Amino acid sequence: MDLAAKVFARFCHLQARHFRRRVRSLSPMGRDSGRRVVVTGMGFVTPLGNDQETVWSSLVEGVSGVGPITRFDASDYPARIAAEVRDFDPGDYMDRKSARHLARYCQFGLAAARQALEHAGLDPRRLDPDQVGVIIASGIGGMEEIERNHTQMLERGIRRISPFTVPMMIADMASGVVAMQVGAGGVNYAIVSACASSGHAIGEAAEIIKRGDAEAMIAGGAEATITPLTMGAFCQIKAVSERNHEPERACRPFDAERDGFVMGEGAVVLVLEELEFARDRGAPILAEVVGYGASADMHHFTAPHPEGAGAIRAMRRALDKAGVRPEEVDYVNAHGTSTRLGDVAETRAIKEVFGEHAHRLAVSSTKSMHAHLLGAAGAMEAAACVLAIRHGLIPPTINLDHPDPECDLDYVPNRARPARVEVAISNSFGFGGHNSTLVIRRPEPE
């Protein structure tokens, strides 16, 4: 075949792909339209590091990101430990003026989004504005800014409240800022569902692509709530660990000596794209998001359903939508917060969904290392699933020294495990009874 014929054949191939995408995008069938969603980029600002390589090496080496609180004086608090983001310079990702006017959680979200776009090789400004959307979730938003300006008002009067207080404190602003800064003009909003927020964000972003409302989505979560009020409030409900004398061992999911979760902060963002759109760009295809399930516990403000009823429904729905049988799943990245009730309820839910296969599954909680990133937790853990698939290593659950008899699954204790992971699921459950499950699969060879 001569060069002209090759060029013409390639042109016809691309036109056919474009036509198929347009037909699918106009289909009224929604999720049955045949559009598939892949992960092409990831960005990280976390207690384990602020780039993918550092985060992954910390996860597989069992490094803890927990230490004494330095963001404020916590000497009078029952819990004086947290997993803080360290060595973060917003100037690496935005100009000084932007940084000064953005809440800390927004800075994290923008930084992670820029990393993810660079990783994906995607520049939204080169595309039609409607092709790329953004959903950056946050469970709480700009709490630091609320506290600071409330103090200013009480001590110095209303005129000392910053005019930037409103845009800095509202939970949707990370999503808005990312769209403004990178030129993504498509679907844009935030999801607030406590600790399930960014799991929902990724799942809903995938659904947006499947129904043809975007070709790519920037999706994840951002949180920065290591503040006096937030920490004090969680201390009051006895939700956080008080193992202050050994912070790196405080977060211990499924261990009999666990005494609560450890607060974390940060942002993790994924770039999701429609499969053919990504292939046409020559984008790196890291994994495929094949299923998403969401449910409500209908049970309690903060406690999970004791039998994991809502979690069971979320997992089953995600697997059903993915067309994946329970026995095909190799790895579960558990919500695993290190709370007395939560770890037992999730264990029961996994056993109900997977039956005998539950005891052959690898289940781990990476929160044992990066702690609980609240609204960013689901994105962090979905990314951990992608990395486990890519590298053939399952991150461990560290600090699992005295297994709880009620938590009797294989939690990959203390050491990473080599394994070929074809299918992984990521669970995220939030106060209010919000449940989210993502099913992530190894990409098919092109």
Which member of 335, 370, 385, 434 is catalytic? 335
CA distance 237 to 324: 39
CA distance 375 to 372: 9
Across 50-103, where does the E strand assignment appear?
67-68, 81-82
Q: Mark whether 335 is an active-site residue.
A: yes
CA distance 432 to 434: 6
Q: What is the number of helices (H) and of strands (E) in the chain?
A: 14, 14
Which member of 106, 195, 385, 407 is catalytic? 195
CA distance 276 to 284: 12
Nearest Cα to Cα of residue 427 among 313, 339, 323: 313
End-to-end CA distance of the chain: 23
Which member of 235, 372, 407, 434 is catalytic? 372
Residue 143 neighbours by CB under 8 Å, 6+ apart:
169, 224, 225, 227, 229, 230
- Kindly tell me the sign of the dihedral angle through the C-alpha atoms of 411, 414, 417, 422: positive
Q: Mark whether 195 is an active-site residue.
A: yes
- Kindly tell me the sign of the dihedral angle through the C-alpha atoms of 42, 361, 61, 339: positive
Output the six-digit token pair for 203.
Answer: 């799942």
Q: Mark whether 200 is an active-site residue.
A: no
Output phi, psi for 362, to 5 deg: -90, 125
With residues binned 3-state (H G I as helix, E B as strand, rest as coil), the percentages for the chain, rounded to 5, are 45, 20, 35
Q: Which residues are known to be catalytic?
A: 195, 335, 372
